[in-house]
Chain A
Amino acid sequence: MQTTEELKAELIENFSFLEDLDQKYEYVIELGKKLPMLDAQFKKDEFKIKGCQSTVWLIPEVAETTISFRADSDSVFVKGLISLLIYVSNNQPKDDVAKLNTDFIHQIGLGNYLSPTRSNGLVAMVKQMKLYAQ
């Protein structure tokens, strides 16, 4: 199984083939559309991470030593970014997720969506992922 670092490297490589912002965004949107929607029963307050503009729902699935997540958002673009974060975290050792470094999002050129000024709930989501993994 690939490690978080290997998965990050894979994503960075995938994005490096995309020439401009439009292509990157199209790819993110595509990922967002592909990420399975959560059933309504999971869209409750305990899983909700409220951003100023969009909402993220994050459900942890904790095993003995590893952790996985399912997540959804009302914004397709945010969903695409979520799927990147989930991709590098799912079935990974809890310790690795607890100290998840999101620099790879910057490396693929989408870092501005993880800056604290972005009000989309993503920063809070990463924080919550780490908390669940502790």
Chain B
Amino acid sequence: MSFDVHKIRKDFPILSQKINGKDLVYFDNAATTQKPQSVIDSLSSYYQTINANIHRGIHTLAEKATAEYELTREAIKNFLNAESAEQIIFTKGITDSINLVARSYGGVYLKTGDEVIISTMEHHSNIVPWQLICEEKGAILRVIPINESGEIIFEDYEKLLSEKTKIVAIVHASNALGTINPIKEIIKKAHRFGAVVLVDGAQAASHLEIDVQDLDADFYCLSSHKLYGPTGVGALYGKKSILEKMPPYQGGGEMISEVTFEKTTYNELPYKFEAGTPNIADTIALRKAIEYIQQIGKQAIATYEAQLLDYATKKLSEFEQVQLVGTAKEKVSVCSFVMHNIHPQDIGIILDTEGIAIRTGHHCTQPLMNRLGLVGTARASFAFYNTFEEIDKLTFGLKKVIKMLS
């Protein structure tokens, strides 16, 4: 299918909105992506036609809902090239997925003096769960430093690895800087020391081709809402041998095999980790988002987004007052920047008057901002429905920012 951005934009009804009298320019895709009509229709169609609780009922609706729900699991399995669908666990999102692994895996396999390695550019959701479990277990959290471009210093990572390393938890692509980490090499090195690796794929899954088998990832997390799907759904991929030896994370319905007051035996994978009635409608709609992405093609998306990033980088570099933050060689389409003597929040407020939505602040990466000596940045993050004309509007908006605030 040839890439036609104007045709694609018609599939996203929200994009035709006016904000403050101007055409919406949505550049906050790293925070959440907009949803195509097929996803929106799926949500309403679910409630209109097949709403029922899944996995338990024998009536027709329950069977239809269950079948649709499980089709999403299959779709994610293919999307990540996982070995089997039972290795895909539905969660509320990446935060939930990481907490699951930290609690369940970390709770059993971390001992006093063991080490967990994360990087300087982690989102708080890939820091705090590890801090909590490390504190509880007497384990130590180690942090891979970064260089001035916003890339991890690989040699320092290698130095941190040892027999004490039990878990490496690292982001595939940084939400604040766009940096793509060399995940395959990171995993390879960690495995030499017998550590398991969790990859936070929040930003990567919508931009890059993901193959968990090729990466040899032990855990891979993704969030539906950053993938053009609904909010409140995520998935955790895990290697089967590891998931099987992990204890349940939460107790409740669905995750059990048999319950007596004396003892409960647990359900098999993936249900062991899916307690309670899940977010059925949103999970089903997520498949429509995945199908939409696959229809355009990851390669076409990556090529187009790289062009947008190059164009934005060039345009922003033309401003004397603008300093780009995050200049890694390998980046997803995230453009973080600061402006001389202008607070990021003020940039965001003025751009909003032009209908331009960007994110400002610390992007839930306070340790990274501290390392860079910044209170925050302004961040424009692009998706395949954005256009070069919209980037021109951003440069126009920045001229207004300078005029009003300098």
Contacts and interface: CB of A to CB of B under 8 A. Distances in A.
Interface of A: 21-22, 25-26, 29, 52-55, 74-78, 119-120
B377 to A, nearest CB: 11
A29 B361 contact: no
A25 B345 CA distance: 13
A120 to B, nearest CB: 7
Contacts of B376: 53
28 contacts: A21-B20, A21-B353, A25-B349, A25-B350, A25-B353, A25-B404, A26-B404, A29-B405, A52-B361, A52-B362, A53-B345, A53-B360, A53-B361, A53-B362, A53-B376, A54-B345, A54-B375, A55-B375, A74-B343, A74-B375, A75-B345, A76-B342, A76-B343, A76-B346, A76-B405, A77-B343, A77-B345, A77-B346
Contact of A75 (B20, B343, B353, B404): B343
Contacts of B353: 21-22, 25
Interface in B334-370: 342-346, 349-350, 353, 360-362
A37 B249 CA distance: 51
A78 B361 CA distance: 14
B341 to A, nearest CB: 9
Nearest to B341: A76
Contacts of A52: 361-362
Contacts of A76: 342-343, 346, 405
Contacts of B375: 54-55, 74
Interface of B: 20, 342-346, 349-350, 353, 360-362, 375-376, 404-405
A22 B400 CA distance: 10
In the A-B complex, list the 5 residue pairs whose CB atoms are closest, starting with the nearest: A75-B343, A53-B361, A53-B345, A75-B345, A77-B346
A22 to B, nearest CB: 6
B401 to A, nearest CB: 11
A121 to B, nearest CB: 10
Nearest to B360: A53
Given A25-B353, A75-B343, A77-B349, 4 more contacts: A52-B361, A52-B362, A76-B343, A78-B345
Contacts of B361: 52-53, 119
A77 B350 CA distance: 9
B267 to A, nearest CB: 39
A54 B375 CA distance: 8
A52 B361 CA distance: 7
B351 to A, nearest CB: 11
Contacts of A120: 345
Nearest to B353: A21
Contact of A53 (B20, B344, B350): B344
A53 B344 CA distance: 8
Contacts of B350: 25
A25 B403 CA distance: 12
B22 to A, nearest CB: 10
Nearest to A29: B404
Which of A21, A77, A78 has the most B CB atoms < 10 Å from its CB? A77
Nearest to A24: B353
Which of A52, A54, A75 has the most B CB atoms < 10 Å from its CB? A75
Contacts of A21: 20, 353
A26 B376 CA distance: 23
A21 B355 CA distance: 12
